[in-house]
Every structure is written in structure tokens, then in C-alpha cells.
Amino acid sequence: MNNFKTLEFDIILDKLAEKALSETAKTRCLKLKPSLNEAEVRRWMDESTQARQIIEQTGTPPLSSMTELEKIIDYINIEAMLMPEQIEHVLTFLVSCRKMKEYLRKAEGTGLNIACYGGSIVELHELENEIKRCIVSSAVADKASSQLDGIRRQIVIAGDQIKEKLDDLLRKNKTWFSETFVSVRNGRYTLPVKREHRNDVSGSVIEMSNKGGTCFIEPSSVGKLQTKLDELHIEEDSEVRRILYSLTASISENLRAIKLNMEAMETLDFLFAKGKLSISMNASPVDITTDRKISIKNARHPLLSRETAVPLDFKIGQENRGVVITGPNTGGKTVALKTVGLLSLMAQSGLHVPANCVSSFCMHNMVVCDIGDGQSIAENLSTFSSHMKNVISILKQISDESLVLLDELGSGTDPAEGMGIAVGVLDALREKNCIFVVTTHYPEVKEYADNTHGLVNARMAFDKDSLLPLYRLEIGKAGESCALYIAERLGMPTQVLNRAHTAAYGNQNEGTSYKANTSPDEKAFIPPRIIKQEKKTPESQSNIAFNIGDSVFVYPQKEIGLVYARANEKGEVGVQVKGEKRLINHKRIKLNVPASELYPEDYDFSIVFDTVENRKARHLMGKRHEEGNVIIIKEGESGK
């Protein structure tokens, strides 16, 4: 579940739940997770597609929240009487069910399977009509029964008679009263008598004003009429309760059908929530396969602005199981990583994804990631330690059916060791045969990916003129940090840049320096990592200043070796490591100690690099021809 939060899948589920009306459907939305059954995922995806089509063709579905229905059913189960507002909730649901059935009946012509849910909805016309007749504006209507209608007419008549008598008293003795109208206090008709005239009006004090200056008195002359009115109110209450009990009983008799309708409506609420989410994200259905490959076209992160997000094209699988993304900071590497992971989770959960419909996603038994700082104060873990803890856990649990996403692999520690760890983890992922996407800054990791079967480089494009990232992923190309280039364009002094270059790359580009204030049309200094991407010619190899006898470091293992052959046309340098001769791309080699400091001039390197047999053969050849005399030259030695 932590991976869900890291990839922001939980936010997608929150947005899905917002599209639902009923609490049950909202809960179902929040609990949605990727299925491990391909047929189930395909069915879920198809349901999302159908729900969206019905909404677009027929309009907004007539769903209701059903918020109070569960409580109402609980009251019915304990044989309690429902109040008018509760019965109105039932009525709202019944009307919604009837309209939904009509709504789906219109959609049946489209041939969509979701429309068949209308057949499981029971229309309760009699109950609906009875509630409409008896309950109006959250109260029992006069016409709910003839008896209630009669009682309420008598109540009106009795009330009018009382008011007529009291109005007569008000007119005849105006000085006794503080107001000129009859007031109803505590359900009794009263006159507002001034305190000093309290004894002039015979009757019962029902209430006093706040300051005590007025007594609200029920005159004795209307006592009998008030008693009759009280009796009528008791009869009214009794009849209202009888009607409510009757309606409650009718609802109880139809409870089984109501519950079945609730299940159907909750399911439809969930399905239409998926359709609404698809519309709001401008998403599309995508193909789901068991083939171990992902192909994404014109995708965007669903939480980024549709207007500003740069579309992502991405492919992985088949021969290339791993993609290594490189490029400058803020270039969008992490967004690309999260987009691949989030869209994979959405697709495997049967949700439409914001990508072209030609996109396809494969099934994963898990989607795991290590993204972000991860520093833990509570566990006293540094950023690097936290990353390593996550990576170790990931390597233990994944299989060939997993998707692994690692951000800034090997960062947070010594660059040489971090690079070595990055290469080691990539090897471990290759052995697992899982699909994985990794971001990194290490140039040696780019080189490793470029020369390792099953891996492919990718980069986030960068505009060197504007110094702004383009957020466009380019598969098959390694990215550059561009730090020295950016520093130059921002006005860093030339001598500082040259010193920085020497510290970073040594003397491999000796004689080349930065040009201040370079215009976009001029070719400014290109750092070695960019030069290495250009096609080499035999003449250009002379710039790769490794001489025979140089002691060098070979990365990523950081082994020490001796150069036995200068660079060939492919830029490969012959290096002898632990007695074994290898051809190694010059980009993986760094000078340790030059030969000039290790050996005297005109030193015979055959002593170091030749076998005893070859040295004897060379000695004989120098004197005379001898049949059968053979010098064995291993691969890479011809450059000597």
C-alpha cells in the first residue's frame, strides 16, 4: 500500500470516490486495487468503457446518495415507526430506481451489457404512489386519510372560534392589553394582558414576558373550546401515527426488493464513477496482456495539468527489460517514472488511463518502487541508508512478473561506490528478469546500459538555448547532466570552467577550452560525455590519450589495469587486468598513473604483456626465418 501512496494511486482512488454518491460505492472505490486475474482486469476495463459510453450517449445517470437507507432499514428491523422525513428518503430512492430503469432501458439499444442491470431493478409503483399521497414536504398530508382530513378541518374551525372570541375581548378593552392581536403560547390561545390589568381578565396565566410587564392569559370564556381543540389534536396525532405505522409496514413488506435495488444501484454507482473519472481525465481504455511489455503513447500524469503536461511515449519489454533514464535535474525523470507506475496500477485496476488507446500494459504480480528522499528521523536512517533498505527489500520479493521503479539509484554516497552499487542492482534486476525503470546521474551506468544486453538508455530532452527542460522522454539515447554547459551559459568565468573540467574529466580533452559568450550558432565547448556520443573515426582516436603502459582504473568495478593497446576505431582500449587482456570502451577508463612515471624510456613492454612463448618467437624472428615459429596474438593485441 505504501507503493500506492508513493505513486499517488491513493489520490486517484480519492478522485474516483468523489464521483460516487452512495457511501457503499465510495468505500468500494477507495478499496479498489490491481487484480492479478487477466480476465477480471479486461472485464473491469470493459465496464469502465461501457459506463462512459452510456453517460456520453444518454446523459448523467439518475443515482441517489442512499445515505440514510441503511439507518432506515435498521429502524424497520426493530419494528420502529418511521418519521415522515425518513419515509421521504425511501421515496427519493424509489423514484431514483424507477428513473434508472428508464435510463438503462434507453441504453439497451446500444448493446452494452451494463444496460442489463436495469432488469434487476424492481419498480415499486404502488409503494411510491402511496408515499407520495401521504407525505408532502416532510409531513403527513391532510389527504392521507379521510379521518385525518376531517379532524384537521375541525381543528381549524375550533381555532377560528377561539380567535373570534378573543378578538372581541381585544376590541372592547383595548387599554388592558399591550398588543392588539391574539398570541399562541405553548399551544394555547392567549391575550397579552398588561400586568396592572391582570385581575381584570379571568383565566389562566400561560406565560409571562421577559421583563414581566405582560401576562399571556387564556381567558376562561374560551376554556371549553380550548379543551375541545386539545382533544382534536390528540385525535390528529393518533391518526398521523396510524398512517406512519401503515407506511412503515408497507416499506417493510417491500424490504427485500428495496435491498436488491440498493445492491444494483450501488454497483451502478461504482461503475458510473469509473466512467465519470474517465471523462474528467480525458482517459482511454487500453489493452491488457500477459506479454511482458509496456507500450505507452501520448500519456500524461493524471494529476498534472492537461494543458501543460508534455505527452510521454514509452516502451519496454521483450528484449529490453530495463530502461535507464538520465538527464538534468528538474528534467522530468521522476515524473516519467511515476507516470509509468501509476498508469500501470490504474490499467490493472480496470480504470481508463490518460493515454492514447493504442497503448498496452502487461499484468504485474506487484509494482514496487523506491522514489523520493526517504530519510527517516524516527529510524535514524540517512537518505542513502533508507534507499538501500528499500532496494534490498525490493530485490527479495520481486520475480519475473514484477515492475520495479527506482529513482536516483546509488545516489547519496561516494560516487564511485554509488555507481558500483547501481550497476550491481541493475545486474540483480536483470537476473530476476523483471521489467524495471531506473533513473540515474552516473555516466558509467549509462555506459553500462549501452553495452549490456536487455538494457536501453533513455533521456529527458533539454533545451540548451533556453536552459530549460523539455520534459520529453527519448528512448535509446543517454542524457547529460549539462552542468558545465549551463554554468558556461550563465556566465561562469572561463578559467573556473576549465579547472572544473580538469577536475571532472582529467586531461582527456587537453587543448580544448571554453569560449565565453558563445552564441547559439557557434559550437561551444562540448564536454567529453557529449563528444563520446559522436561517431568516432580512426583519426579522432588519437585524442583519447591513453598510452601503452599507463596504469588505469576500469569502471564500474574500479579494477586497476595496464594499457597494452591504444584505442581502436571503436574507441576501445586494450587493458590487461589481473593477467587477462580485455578491450574496454575508453569511457569506462580513467588514468591512474601515466606510463612515463612507471617505466623508463624505450621500455620493452613485451616483458609485461607477452607470454614467454611469444617473446621467444619474436626473438627468433628477429634473427632468422624458422618454419613452425608462431606468435599468438589475442583479440585486442593488434593495436600494439
Average pLDDT of every residue of the chain = 84
Q: Is 553 helix (H, G, I), strand (E, B) or coil?
A: strand
Under the banding of pLDDT at 50, 70 and 90, the label for residue 100 is very high
Selection from 83-97, 298-312, 320-334, 497-511 with the highest mean pLDDT: 83-97
Are the beta carbons of 264 and 103 closer than 8 angstroms? no
The structural domains of the chain, with segments of one domain joined by +, span 2-124+254-281, 144-244, 287-481, 482-534, 541-640
Q: How far apart are CA 266 and CA 276, in angstroms?
A: 15
pLDDT of residue 531: 33
Q: Is there a contact between 459 and 471 (Cβ–Cβ < 8 Å)?
A: no
Q: Which grid cell sits at 3?
A: 507503493
CATH number for 144-244 (one of 3.20.20.140, 1.20.120.80, 1.10.1420.10, 2.20.25.190): it is: 1.10.1420.10
SS3 (DSSP) at 517 = coil
Rounded distance between C-alpha atoms, residue 387 and residue 384, angstroms: 5
Report the candidate in 319, 321, 325, 366 with the shortest Cα–Cα distance to residue 344: 366
What is the rounded average pLDDT of the residues 228-241? 94
Q: Round to whole Å and give the CA distance between 419 and 409.
A: 8
Q: What is the model's pLDDT at position 621?
A: 58
Q: Which residues have a Cβ under 8 Å from the Cβ of 543 and sit 6 or more positions away?
A: 508, 509
Cα–Cα distance, 266 to 269 (Å, whole number)? 5
Q: Do domains 144-244 and 541-640 have the same CATH topology?
A: no
Maximum Cα–Cα distance for the chain, whole Å? 157
Instruction: Report whether 616 contacts 630 (CB < 8 A).
Output: no
Residue 539 neighbours by CB under 8 Å, 6+ apart: none
Q: Taking residues 573-597, what's their average pLDDT?
A: 86
Its sign, for the CA torsion 36, 315, 527, 592, is positive
User: Using CA atoms, how far apart are residues 234 and 175, in angstroms rounded to an integer?
Assistant: 36
What is the model's pLDDT at position 14?
97
User: Does the pLDDT at position 623 exceed 70?
Assistant: no
Classify domain 541-640 at the CATH topology level: SH3 type barrels. (2.30.30)
**Domain over 287-481 is classified CATH 3.40.630.30:** no
Contacts of 452 (CB under 8 A, 6+ apart): 426, 430
CB 399 within 8 A of CB 382: no
How does residue 40 score in pLDDT terms, banded at 50, 70 and 90?
Answer: very high
In the CATH scheme, what is the code of domain 2-124+254-281? 1.10.1420.10
C-alpha–C-alpha distance, residues 283 and 353, integer Å? 5
pLDDT-based confidence at 479, cuts 50/70/90?
A: low
- pLDDT above 90 as % of the chain: 44
**Could you give the CA distance from residue 608 to residue 616 in angstroms, rounded to a whole number?**
14
Nearest alpha carbon to residue 408 among 442, 385, 376: 442
Q: Which residues pair with 105 in a beta bridge?
A: none
Tens-place pLDDT, residues 158-167? 988 888 888 8
Sign of CA dihedral 501, 506, 508, 511: positive
Residue 380's pLDDT band (cuts 50, 70, 90): very low
Strand partners of residue 463: 468
Q: How confident is the model at residue 324 (pLDDT cuts 50, 70, 90)?
A: very high
Q: CA nearest 471: which of 294, 337, 602?
A: 337
Q: Residues 434, 423: contact at Cβ < 8 Å?
A: no
Q: What is the pLDDT of residues 525-569, one digit of tens each?
A: 444 433 333 333 444 444 678 888 888 888 877 888 899 888 888
Q: What is the DSSP string of 321-342?
A: -EEEEE--TTSSHHHHHHHHHH
Q: What are phi and psi of 150, to 5 degrees?
A: -65, -45
Give dist(CA 499, CA 520) in Å, integer: 23
Kindly state the cell numbers that stand for 72: 432506515
What is the pLDDT at residue 517? Answer: 45
